[in-house]
A = this chain, B = another copy of it.
Amino acid sequence: MRAFSHPGPETFLLERVLHALSDPVRLGIVRQLAREGEASCGALDGGRPKSSVSHHFRVLREAGLVWTRSDGVTHMNALRRAELDRRFPGLLAAIVDTEALSSGPC
């Protein structure tokens, strides 16, 4: 189960990244990772079934958004911020920093 396949930055596809971020669950995960730096899958499941959460993490990984490492029995996930910033400058910042506007109690 160890050693996930993480795509190299040169194969990142903007369309794929945007699709991964267009799902509310995944957008929430990415934002929480942006705040907290690293977290296990369980800490980000929001009460959802494990299979659903696992699916979302796979999409995030395959888009290049998230890096997953095994730490004992848990999987720790982190944003691939540096690589994403190099590949798509300003994108992650623009998406993570609009939180107050787009999820605030209007």
Contact = CB atoms under 8 A, between A and B. Distances in A.
Interface residues of A, number: 26
A40 to B, nearest CB: 24
Contact of A94 (B16, B22, B27, B90): B90
A101 to B, nearest CB: 7
Give the number of copies in the complex: 2
A97 B97 CA distance: 19
Contacts of A48: none
Given A14-B27, A15-B23, A91 B88 contact: no
Interface of A: 10, 12-16, 18-19, 21-24, 27, 87-91, 93-95, 97-98, 101-102, 106
